[in-house]
């Protein structure tokens, strides 16, 4: 049963409703938070979304990844472990004709471990709260990120930048703290294969 609806806030799919399915732990990023995030990205990317590679590791309703696709990034790889959410994501992608979006049914850590030095410009992290996901994800992220790549994180508390990352922006909406980090690697990894699954 559907609980409520969120909407894409900008770009080609602006105002598109995204149904929020009734699934455990599903917590879609509110419209105003996504609007803030994409204003941040517009600043740091100087408005250049075309060609950017985005990895959404906890896709859920798809609000974050579809927002990126709507803004014209080159590709979005969405990862989601809930079969119900995956089915809803695929149906919505088909309805939108969002050809830049790929959807992988699976676990975030397993996907990171199998990426084989895939290079992304942005990783979106909105994991279930209270499960210790971030501690397990941070050490794996450098292998997935281009030098200077960005990481967006939602968490139940404000978090500091781990080693190898710089905190660029942070804010709070309700009980959710959201942050934008930059990967400060010393050497760019130029490889660009990626895991994809339909």
Strand ranges (E), the chain = 2-7, 17-21, 53-56, 75-80, 101-105, 120-125, 145-155, 165-173, 176-183
**For the chain, counts of helices (H) and of strands (E):** 5, 9
Q: What are the pLDDT digits (tens) for 28-56?
A: 888 889 999 999 999 999 999 999 999 99
CB 40 within 8 A of CB 169: yes
pTM (predicted TM-score): 0.89
Distance CA 12, CA 169 (A): 26
Residue 81 has pLDDT above 90, yes or no: yes
pLDDT exceeding 90 applies to what percent of the chain?
Answer: 72
pLDDT digits (tens, 9 = 90+) for 52-76: 999 999 999 999 999 999 999 999 9
- Beta-carbon count within 10 A of 29 CB: 22
C-alpha span between 41 and 154 (Å, rounded): 15
Strands 17-21, 53-56: pairing kind: unpaired
Which pLDDT score, from 0 to 100, does residue 185 have?
62
Q: What is the mean pLDDT of residues 101-105?
A: 97
Of 23-32, 104-113, 128-137, give the lowest mean pLDDT range: 23-32
CATH of range 2-183; options 2.10.260.10, 3.40.50.11540, 3.40.50.11900, 3.40.50.150: 3.40.50.150
Handedness of CA 45, 51, 57, 61 (dihedral sign): positive
């Amino acid at each position: 049963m559907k609980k409520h609806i969120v909407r894409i806030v900008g770009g080609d799919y602006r105002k598109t409703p995204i149904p929020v399915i009734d699934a455990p732990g599903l917590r879609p990023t509110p419209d105003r938070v996504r609007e803030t995030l994409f204003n941040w990205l517009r600043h740091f990317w100087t408005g250049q979304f075309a060609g950017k590679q985005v990895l959404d590791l906890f896709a859920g309703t798809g609000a974050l990844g579809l927002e990126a696709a709507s803004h014209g990034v080159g590709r979005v790889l969405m990862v989601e472990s809930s079969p119900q959410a995956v089915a809803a994501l695929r149906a919505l992608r088909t309805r939108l004709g969002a050809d830049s979006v790929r959807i992988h049914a699976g676990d975030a850590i397993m996907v990171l471990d199998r990426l084989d030095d895939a290079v992304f410009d942005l990783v979106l992290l909105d994991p279930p709260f209270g499960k210790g996901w971030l501690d397990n994800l941070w050490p794996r992220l450098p292998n997935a990120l281009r030098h200077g790549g960005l990481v967006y994180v939602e968490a139940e508390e404000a978090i500091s930048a781990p080693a190898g990352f710089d905190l660029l922006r942070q804010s709070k909406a309700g009980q959710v703290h959201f942050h934008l980090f930059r990967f400060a690697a010393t050497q760019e990894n130029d490889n660009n294969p990626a895991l994809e699954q339909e």
